Homo-oligomer: A and B are copies of this chain.
Amino acid sequence: MDLSEDELVRAVSRLLSGSEPGVVVGLGDDAAVVEAGAGQLVLTTDLLVEGVHFERGSISAYDLGAKAVTVNVSDIAAMAASPRYALVAMGMPDAVEAAWVMELYGGMRDACAEYALSLVGGDTNRADLVVLSVAVVGEVAPGRAVVRSGARVGDRIAVTGSLGAAAGGLALSRLQAGRAAEALSQPWGRALIEALERPVARVGEAQVLARARASAMMDLSDGLTKDLSRLCDASGVGARVDLGAVPVSGPLASGAALLGVDARSLALSGGEDYELLVTMPADGVGPARDELQTGFGVDLSELGEITDGTGLTGVDADGREAVLEAAGWDHFAGG
């Protein structure tokens, strides 16, 4: 590192300076002081670790910084809450250059601007690998948070956007160089990498779904089957999923052959899509779909219903049913 800790803090403070609404004491003191709104507080934290969540050589510092903020904002969004303040604690090896750190903070700053939250705390430490921990404080009107445990038998299950693109991007990034270059020469290849490195948090979309009487909601970080299982467990219910209705990412479908993956499989089990998984009464789905399409240009796909019992059941195009494992739908491959 070519700057001391104090020099880095000053440089970061300049980068992040500006009179942010609600911030009484920003970066550089023991802690930040901010104004609380009238609602309940919504709190979340997520850690990104080099070698597990990202490779320093394959994602830009800017995108990494933006993603670290965005995945936390996505958790706040999934409660139907609004993000307000972000804190970041990071560790990095001495060999990391100050320019890289500043670019990282630049990505965090721009993501904060996009989602209207203020970055109020930063703590930089030495570590043997890059570690990026962000915490976000959000706000929600009292009693209006949408939790995972509210799904009721008969509710419809829906997801925003399409699924599997981030997992497709991960598969692409693991191709040997020649095939990766071929994939990246295609629009679908660039779209898959973009999905992996520049996820979008569905803040406004979650508000629409909450108003449409969402009974349970969460963001899809670990894959549809795994996350839907969690939602069902929390709600004490089961789910029946119409496999043909799962919205497979278009770029993933285009690239599946070259990538050597099964697109529908990745849409069911691939992580990091950060789309919203929601349950709601049947008559709420249509109006919500229209509003999401009109307001955000985002699809809402209805893909099944909440049942009594436990676990997930998949239904294929021929109406055949089978247990849908949280790991994916591979049992169906030979069906």
Contacts and interface: CB of A to CB of B under 8 A. Distances in A.
A76 interface: yes
A29 interface: yes
A105 interface: no
Given A6-B230, A44-B31, A127 B78 contact: no
A43 B85 contact: yes
Given A47-B131, A91-B47, A33 B79 contact: yes
Contact of A129 (B24, B42, B128, B140): B128
A305 interface: no
Contacts of A89: 45-47, 133, 135
A209 interface: no
Interface stretch (A49-57, A170-178, A245-253, A260-268): A49-57
Contact of A125 (B6, B53, B138): B53
A41 B234 CA distance: 30
A302 interface: no
B123 A31 contact: no
A145 interface: yes
Nearest to A49: B127
Contacts of A32: 42-44
Looking at chain A's contact residues, is the secondary structure mostly helix, strand, loop, or mixed?
strand
Given A6-B230, A135-B87, A31 B51 contact: no
A34 B234 CA distance: 19
A28 B323 CA distance: 25
Contacts of A182: none
A98 B137 CA distance: 29
A63 interface: no
A30 B140 CA distance: 14
A36 B39 contact: yes
Per CB-CB distance, the 6 closest pairs between chain A and chain B, nearest first, are A133-B133, A135-B135, A31-B44, A47-B89, A30-B78, A49-B127
21 contacts: A25-B79, A25-B145, A28-B148, A29-B79, A30-B44, A30-B218, A33-B40, A33-B79, A43-B87, A43-B137, A45-B88, A45-B121, A46-B89, A47-B133, A49-B131, A51-B127, A52-B125, A52-B126, A131-B131, A131-B133, A133-B133
Interface of A: 6, 24-25, 28-37, 39-47, 49, 51-53, 75-76, 78-79, 81, 85, 87-91, 120-121, 123, 125-129, 131, 133, 135, 137-138, 140, 145, 147-149, 218-219, 230, 234
Given A45-B135, A52-B127, A89-B133, 19 more contacts: A28-B148, A29-B148, A29-B149, A30-B218, A31-B42, A31-B76, A32-B42, A33-B42, A34-B41, A35-B41, A41-B137, A47-B125, A47-B133, A49-B91, A89-B135, A91-B131, A128-B129, A131-B131, A133-B133
